[in-house]
Amino acid sequence: MNFKERFLTAMNHEEPDQVPVMGLIMDPATVNKILEKKPADFVGMLQKPVMANQIKNLLNSNRFWTNMYYGNTSGALEAAIKLGFDANWTIYALMKLTKDTQASVGWAWHDPYGRVWDLGADEDGSMNVNYSRALLDTEEKWEKWVAEKAPLFETMLRNVAAFHRKLVKNYGDRIYPIGYAAPGPFENSWQPIGFVNFTRLIYQKPEFVKKVIAFQTDLYLRNLEAVMKSDVEVVLGGDDLGQKTGPLMRPELIEKLYGECYRRVADLVHQHKKKFVFHCCGNIYALLNKFVEWGFDGIITMEPTAGMDLGKVREQVGHKLVLIGNLDVSYLVVKGTQQEVEDAVKKAIRDAARGGGYILSTSHSHPAVDPLRLKWMVEAAHKYGKYPIAV
């Protein structure tokens, strides 16, 4: 089987020749190490006033941003191919570089939804980006932002479609690029407003919250449609509905606020005759049956440091969901020994791979993930993941 046949066979809960391996390679630090490239000192350049303004003008040009972002993602696919992955996720994001006095380096990314992303650099100089805070902490700010940013949303959606089509065209014969519509309706609802504000508004201004969710659902469905124009058979979506000990909200409240939204998401993907895999971090045992009920085809992450055990997940959902992930990114693929990586791969295969429906992957990605340990993971999957499973 080739990589695509292997992946799709597993997605159909059938046994391929071997367990597919999916990469979540995205961070520039990881990509630079795999491809042996030196990172640009982007944060350092922003500390020089003359260069900073030039960089801002370049990056805030849609054409330059799109070309640069495509280049970064094509690098991630090249890295995944080099390590032997069958598939890798691809995510489009649109950011605007903005002077920001609250940011540690005086500059931050502001995204179209109203989020602030702080800039930083790791020890090798590669840039890292993390969600920092909300810009739209009142109803008035949200209303004004949505009205003013309407043209930016349209630009973003055009970019999403072109980005994923181009990646599949240029890489689809070498690896399976899984388009990821992100962030999802839940994160797009609360992150631009702030979690404390959002949860307060659920009770104080429920009609406003309904309006926000309806807007973000409609926009997200358009985002998904743009991703699906790449013509791959599987797409990713997601929201982090969990934290380390359980869901961020009561499952009943999540169902009340977002149940219909997620049903619409699954229905849209299925109307296009594609499969939908949902990315969700945290301890989500209490939501697994909801994912089945909403119509999802698979889930990715199953974060082990949040108590998610792959065998227990398989026991709970059977083959109602394809399972992707569960290998630890806090220690295993950062500092783990080769034996520890092999043992974790064997356990994952033993727990979930029989009968198909399992795709081996880390539970997430971040700049400290070590390429050598990813290589060990792929090698172990090829060694122990052949069907019939014998580990």
Q: And the tokens for 283? A: 């301890």
Give the pLDDT of residue 97.
Answer: 94
Residue 123 has pLDDT above 80, yes or no: no
pLDDT score for 347: 98
DSSP class of 115: E
pLDDT band at 127 (very low <50, low <70, confident <90, very high): confident
DSSP 39: P
Find out whether 83 and 30 touch, Cβ atoms under 8 Å.
no
The CATH-assigned architecture of domain 3-36+81-94+136-384 is: Alpha-Beta Barrel (3.20)
Give percent of the chain with pLDDT exceeding 90.
90
The pLDDT mean for the chain works out to 96
Please give the pLDDT value at position 209.
98
Amino acid at 116: V
Q: Alpha-carbon distance 109 to 115, whole Å? A: 8
